[in-house]
Amino acid sequence: MLDRWDLIGPNNSIRLFALLLMLLELSRPALPSPVRPICDLRVLNHFIKEARDADTAMKVCREGCSLAQSVTVPQTRVDFEVWENKNASEQALEVQSGLWLLQQALNLLRTSVTNTELHSHIDSSTRNLQSISAVLRSLNIQEYSPPQTGVEQEGTWTVSSATDLLQVHLNFLRGKVRLLLLGAPACQHDVS
Ligand SMILES: *[C@@H]1O[C@H](CO)[C@@H](O)[C@H](O)[C@H]1NC(C)=O
């Protein structure tokens, strides 16, 4: 199967930059859903790269970079057979709830870290999660309502270190988020 994400336009960084700017606009709250689906996988690849940079920076960080309390995070391991057998709403729920959990976890990490270099990595990661939500909205992926506090969520676990959290964040983006985008019906027809 052709990877349709590669079919769009000339591969230049100006185009990617324009897409990113558009996403920053779109990820502002209270704007109507965009009409055009964002199917360019380079956008996600860029966010994955930044997540990897954050992970790397955390691994070498020696001071002011710890997580104050353990946080709930999504499972990142992908079993393709299980994934393929899920319907679109189940896949959307799994990714959207995972992104929501990661957002909460990164907010907590932001308040417990004092290292300024790490702050900028965490801030980018948070912005990128919002942009990913904007991409999902553009693809008409089902949205998610956060649960009442105290409700135990299925398919989650806890991590207690900052490096584990950023590792989970990275793996979630390059695993389930990527799979959901690759399978998005809004991106399956040919670009003409
Ligand atoms: C998806 O699967 C869930 C659980 O099996 C089911 O409750 C739901 O109705 C299904 N949704 C669709 C759109 O088929």
131-159 per-position pLDDT tens digit: 999 999 999 999 998 877 766 677 899 99
User: ∠153-68-95 over CA atoms, to 5°?
Assistant: 30
When pLDDT is cut at 50, 70 and 90, the band that residue 160 belongs to is very high
Look at 178 and 37; give whichever has higher pLDDT. 178
Q: In the prediction, which pLDDT does 15 show?
A: 76
Give SS3 for 50: helix
The DSSP call for residue 136 is H
**pTM of the predicted model, to two decimals?**
0.85
Pick the closest to residue 54 from 178, 175, 133, 170 (CA basis): 170
Tokens of 16: 């990617």
Q: How far apart are CA 159 and CA 69, in angstroms?
A: 9
- Amino acid (1-letter code) at residue 164: D
User: 30-70: per-residue pLDDT in tens?
Assistant: 656 555 888 999 999 999 999 999 999 999 999 999 999 99
Give distance in angstroms: CA of 155 to centre of ligand 1: 17
162, 55 contact by CB (below 8 A): no
Nearest C-alpha to atom 2 of ligand 1 is from which residue? Answer: 87
Of 85, 86, 90, the residue with max ligand 1 atoms within 8 A of its CB, to mutate for a pocket test, comes to 90
Give distance in angstroms: CA of 93 to centre of ligand 1: 11
- Please give the average per-residue pLDDT across 71-86, as a whole number: 95
Burial of 16 (0-12, 13-18, 19+ CB in 10 A): middle
Answer yes or no: is pLDDT of 72 > 50. yes
Nearest C-alpha to atom 7 of ligand 1 is from which residue? Answer: 90
